[in-house]
Structure 1
């Protein structure tokens, strides 16, 4: 048996591993994109054995493989995920979500910025990067007028922290993620199968011209999709009717923040789906209920996402709202928050649930007090860091208490926004006791002012 046969045999034995790696990556990206309000069709696949064998035979004519390791290094896309965006204008934000979700090892953009569309005679094929594609037939008779395949490719690993028990082995799988518009993905499939896998001979110059013309129509279609996105943004921004879903809420936030010169592609919207579910339960999923809080946002969105900050501002000092938000968090689309409830799980989680309730109640009571003494004409609670500094300036708390209160706020953010499931119940109870003591101390000091 030759090197290629040996590699194919190894791959056949590992096919289930690569298929599961691709599906796991797809699930993570699908959840992250959906939560951020990005509309996309996400699919996955492990490279088929037959296509892989054909590809290796074709590449071997020029490379003459001598070992399985050499073949493995040359074919890094055994597992692949395709992200087909509804709106190509959201490419930058999709890239941010991918980089935040996966450990990106390398990336490429198509077409390369250095390549002029007027001088191109071929386009990179879908599913590969430029330096890996086979040599296409001679197309010198047709000079390509349009830019060809437009996409971004990423080779990435799944961070171990995002894998559940029993999935550790998938952390070693390098997965290729291709991101393009739905129209571009469709065109690239046609172009790739006709140009690089001809079944009935090479294409004629007129057929290349027709492919080029179709590419132009796709690019025009992408412009239309971008205009459709802007029209939708304008509609949800000025509409008096409720947001229909969290996608519209996300579009509203992007439009409003962009109008405030905030580059949302470098920020993090966060769990917009959770925020929408909370607003819908409160009958507040409407632009006029959200917009007043936008000017109060801190701009460090990488550390504190937009949706989390908005929720915090809306929840301030209201226990029923906290409970509603926690309900929305528990029913979110995220797999980590949607475990099946059983009698055993309820018994195991009872101490955590009770401690969480004790901590949240103590925090709400503190917020109610802060609202009383904040000396603000606004009915909304000002940003907590500002209030904490005011408390120090008024000698209502010491600098040491200020530092500890900042730590407590970080703990509160963790448990309220679903990132504190690993906090021990005893730590939550101690934190609740400290907050109660602080609240009483502030009341006593404030009463003597």
Structure 2
């Protein structure tokens, strides 16, 4: 049975009343994605968000009314079945970063009723050589620790995060307007042919961007002087840690380094010593710190020896107290940065080492 006019009318009226809540959710999810995924991992990407307009929602329900599989009998069923009132898009420069972004989304959010995040990877080219839609759709809910203060009324409300490369996004959007929402009987042969040609261009564009960024990273390794940005920081330090992926947790490491005035490789070596850029020394410090965390129930703050944490630990070893003091701990101003907790724990760890050394003496 198709959706009744009354259900459509009442659902549209409810969404009109509640739209500001979905806008708040989309903005919050977008902020988390931008800071904790893109910036923290030095991923080149654009993060945008939106909510459906009331008019767009009404049009969607009217299209659903013509489909046998969308037989919503009540307003509650409509809201349970439509998952993209709030939407966030993460468009990566490189398609190779899409999986990393998706993995981070699964860590930072949860699914319905505290389950795992629902992930739907779509790649139509895999089954049809004339289709080029490619994106990963994640249906997410904020974690309980994020549902505080201004965000308490977002409990049980989901947001759709779409992950794709920038080039794929171009094709997806154009095809969506011409093919998915067809007017006048749908796209003709000429339009289909041009969409296919554009699809091939976007796939070759993905490959060109990947090669371009690799060439850029190679050139940046030759830079001297102050770090330009987090990408320059990663590129210049990568030769010192060839077995680590310095993009992972790069934002935290870059902030920790530059906040202490260590704005270049020369400054790092001068302040921390050559051992600060030694993979063996970093691995030893991280291993000792992580073992300490198991004794104080702090395993969630473990450092990753295969990431930019190899640089974070070098800075912590000398400046943990200063880093801890420089970050606000007032919960009313928002959840403190992760480095706040790590620095506090590392400071205690360092003090325990000193106590052990004094006892041994």
Q: What is the TM-score normalised by the length of structure 1?
A: 0.62
Report the 3-state secondary structure (helix = DSSP H, G, I; strand = E; otherwise coil) of the residue aligned with 1:418: helix
Indicate yes or no: 2:340 matched with 1:418: yes
Indicate yes or no: 2:19 matched with 1:15: yes
Deviation at residue 335 of structure 1 after TM alignment: 6.2
Deviation at residue 26 of structure 1 after TM alignment: 0.7
Indicate yes or no: 2:255 matched with 1:274: yes
For 2:49, the equivalent position in structure 1 comes to 44
Indicate yes or no: 2:1 matched with 1:2: no
For 1:313, the equivalent position in structure 2 comes to 314
Aligned in 2, Cα 1:329/1:227: closer, same or farther, shift over 3 Å? farther
Q: Tell me which moved more, 233-242 or 286-295.
A: 286-295
Instruction: Return 5+ residue gaps in structure 2 as ranges.
Output: 112-116, 291-299
Q: Tell me which moved more, 47-56 or 270-279.
A: 270-279
CA RMSD between the two structures? 3.7
Question: Superposition pairs for residues 367-382 of structure 1, below 5 Å?
Answer: none
Deviation at residue 54 of structure 1 after TM alignment: 0.9
* Bigger radius of gyration among the two: 1
Question: Superposition pairs for residues 134-149 of structure 1, below 5 Å?
Answer: 144=130, 147-149=131-133
Indicate yes or no: 2:358 matched with 1:443: yes
Deviation at residue 109 of structure 1 after TM alignment: 1.2
Indicate yes or no: 2:60 matched with 1:55: yes
Aligned in 2, Cα 1:77/1:225: closer, same or farther, shift over 3 Å? same
For 1:284, the equivalent position in structure 2 comes to 264
Question: Superposition pairs for residues 2-401 of structure 1, below 5 Å?
Answer: 2-32=6-36, 33-62=38-67, 63-104=70-111, 105-111=117-123, 115-118=126-129, 144=130, 147-251=131-235, 259-260=242-243, 262=244, 268-269=249-250, 271-278=252-259, 281-285=261-265, 289=269, 292-295=277-280, 296-297=282-283, 298=286, 303-305=302-304, 306-316=307-317, 318=318, 321-322=319-320, 325-326=323-324, 336=335
Distance 1:181 1:287 in 2: 36
For the Cα contact (< 8 Å) 1:37–1:273, is it kept in 2?
no
Deviation at residue 230 of structure 1 after TM alignment: 1.2
Deviation at residue 286 of structure 1 after TM alignment: 6.1
Instruction: Return 5+ residue gaps in structure 1 as ranges.
Output: 119-143, 339-413
Distance 2:160 2:148 in 1: 21
Aligned in 2, Cα 1:326/1:58: closer, same or farther, shift over 3 Å? same
Deviation at residue 184 of structure 1 after TM alignment: 1.7
Distance 1:268 1:50 in 2: 41
Superposed CA deviations along residues 185-216 of structure 1, whole A, max 9, x for unmatched, are 12211111011223454221121010110111
Distance 1:420 1:240 in 2: 30
Aligned in 2, Cα 1:441/1:51: closer, same or farther, shift over 3 Å? closer
Deviation at residue 83 of structure 1 after TM alignment: 0.9
For the Cα contact (< 8 Å) 1:38–1:90, is it kept in 2?
yes
Aligned in 2, Cα 1:153/1:443: closer, same or farther, shift over 3 Å? same
For the Cα contact (< 8 Å) 2:321–2:343, is it kept in 1?
no
Q: What is the TM-score normalised by the length of structure 2?
A: 0.76
Deviation at residue 311 of structure 1 after TM alignment: 2.5
